[in-house]
Structure 1
Amino acid sequence: MSGKRVNPFPKIIAFVFLLAMSVIWVIPLVWGIVTSFKSEIELQSVGFKFLPIEWVLSNYTSLLVDNASTPLVRWFTNSLFISVTHTLLVLLVVTLSAFAFSRLSFRGKNGLFAFLMATMMFPAVVNLIPLYKIIDILGWVNSPIAMIVPGAAGVFNIFLVRQFMNNIPTEFDEAARMDGANDFQILRRVILPLIKPVLLVVSLFSFTGSWNDFLWPSIVFNDVEKMPITPGLQLLQGMYQAQPTLLMAGALVAIVPTFVLYLFAQKYFLDSMSLSAGVKG
């Protein structure tokens, strides 16, 4: 008996579309990489030429070695410290908040959660002025704390982790309570091992969001030595009258951590697309 023949045309169309989108995304990245190995003289005199006539490392040495006026390494270190610390704080706050909304019972829980969800309708730019006032009063201007603390209780992250926890059967909690476990022990020994995929996704979002943030650090930092790398690249452009080759080299250095992080975390990122991925069986 011959089975029903499957029409391959939709798969071919999907493949061609995804291939085209991949090429559109990859070409600017490849062009930026090869441009960072060109000399400024070649870029201005030869015009558009995809591959360099002569591959040079002067752009990278200017940024990483001879960088007295553009402390790229210091900016990179500042961004790394801020992003890692911010991510750890986000994990702490979001995990405790999501556990409270998912597992604990207290008066006004549903109303409070609904209010938090409603705040997502307001664009983040609305909070810039009052948030800066608060940071200024606390004396956190030009301090890494100005980027670490704000945004630690992201409503979307709380919602995501809460929904993931809701898919974990409450029978696990009841069994742990029968063994004498309290709420903190249930969170640490029962819930946390099951929500690792979604916590890794929250970590990925938090780290990349903090690392790539441009507007907020441009507002709260005016000391060049204390700046993270993203607003620092803007100063790099001003100091060198927008040398494209130098800026491309700086931009490529800036994307290395997020690219490496995604390579290691992509499996968990894809797993988390299903909110029940953390519960097996």
Structure 2
Amino acid sequence: MMPRSRALLVNVALFAAAALSLGPLLWMVSVSFMAPGEASSSPPPLFPHQATLENYRQLFAQTRMGRGFANSLFLATAATLLALLFNVSAGYAFAKLRFAGRERIFRILLGALIIPAQVAMIPLFLLLKSMGLVNTYLGVLLPSVANVFGIFLVRQYALSIPDELLEAARIDGAGELRLFWSIVLPALGPILVTLAIFTFLGSWNDFLWPLIVLTDDDRHTLPVALASLTREHVQDSELMMAGGVITVLPVLALFLVLQRYYIQGLLAGSVKG
């Protein structure tokens, strides 16, 4: 097969895969602009007969989606900042600082990766209950402060930082905090963006843990609010699709803006790790 024909087949296959992936998302956006009941007609239309924003107005005026959006934005942003602070510090320590039991502790942490998160939910909930953190934002945030995968990701990338560079900075009189802020963090730039995207997406899309911890409707996150909307408006397909767009659009926009740094971090980690 000629190289040009092979490239054409690859591009056609990639275009078909992209169309299959984007088709449901684009139809969801289209339905969100349809009039009530229009999507239930047979056959269902691909585009709205007359686009309207009524579904979005109803979504924020008569449901808790606006409050859920604000809660999710706050929790996802806070979880991302806390995860960056603790995971980056721990990953750098496991990679470059020498202390007793470093390798043994790291192996134990890696072993924890095979334990499903659902297994720890009941004991974690009981622990938070004894601390009085049920139905609080702090109860949602604490489990995401330190993540074994995040520590592992940063550690593997930090191993690529030359020890000679760090020793030269110490000889020049730089303290550990100055060295970490001025040398280590800039060198970890791509992996910081990758970790931030992972953490933000995970926190934004998390449904089960906020549902367990938060009992007050005004504290529910966007996925929980969307599930509640499903129970109340199961027949309103257009309203449901508008809720889906509100849920998906922010994280999609974040990924598109940061995808260059995200891919750079993954490729660098795969080469240097």
Aligned Cα root-mean-square deviation (Å): 1.9
**Alignment partner, residue 40 of structure 1:** 36
Residue 276 to residue 229, structure 1, CA distance change in 2 (3 Å): closer
**Alignment partner, residue 53 of structure 1:** 49
Corresponding residue SS for 1:275: helix
Matched, 1:30 2:35: no
Corresponding residue SS for 1:38: coil
By how many angstroms is 1:45 displaced?
3.9
**Alignment partner, residue 8 of structure 2:** 12
**Alignment partner, residue 149 of structure 1:** 142
By how many angstroms is 1:89 displaced?
0.3
**Alignment partner, residue 164 of structure 2:** 171
Q: Give the TM-score normalised by the residue count of structure 2.
A: 0.94
1:167, 1:275 within 8 Å by CA — same for their partners in 2? Answer: no
Cα distance in 1 for residues equivalent to 2:151 and 2:237: 40
Unaligned segments of structure 1, at least 5 residues:
none
Between 100-109 and 45-54, report the one with greater CA deviation.
45-54
By how many angstroms is 1:39 displaced?
2.0
Q: Provide, for residues 238-278 of structure 1, a one-character-per-residue CA deviation record: whole Å limited to 9, x for no partner.
A: 12234211110011011222122112211101111223699
Unaligned segments of structure 2, at least 5 residues:
none
Residue 40 to residue 163, structure 1, CA distance change in 2 (3 Å): same
Matched, 1:161 2:154: yes
2:72, 2:204 within 8 Å by CA — same for their partners in 1? Answer: yes
Cα distance in 2 for residues equivalent to 1:114 and 1:164: 17
Q: Provide, for residues 17-72 of structure 1, a one-character-per-residue CA deviation record: whole Å limited to 9, x for no partner.
A: 211110001110111011111122223345412112222221111012x22xx221
Equivalences for residues 1-281 of structure 1 within 5 A: 7-64=3-60, 66-67=61-62, 70-275=63-268
By how many angstroms is 1:137 displaced?
1.4
2:191, 2:269 within 8 Å by CA — same for their partners in 1? Answer: no
Identical residues among aligned pairs (%): 34
Q: Give the TM-score normalised by the residue count of structure 1.
A: 0.92
Cα distance in 2 for residues equivalent to 1:15 and 1:147: 43
Cα distance in 2 for residues equivalent to 1:100 and 1:55: 55
Between 111-120 and 233-242, report the one with greater CA deviation.
233-242
How many residues align structurally?
272
By how many angstroms is 1:151 displaced?
2.2
Residue 165 to residue 62, structure 1, CA distance change in 2 (3 Å): same
1:167, 1:276 within 8 Å by CA — same for their partners in 2? Answer: no
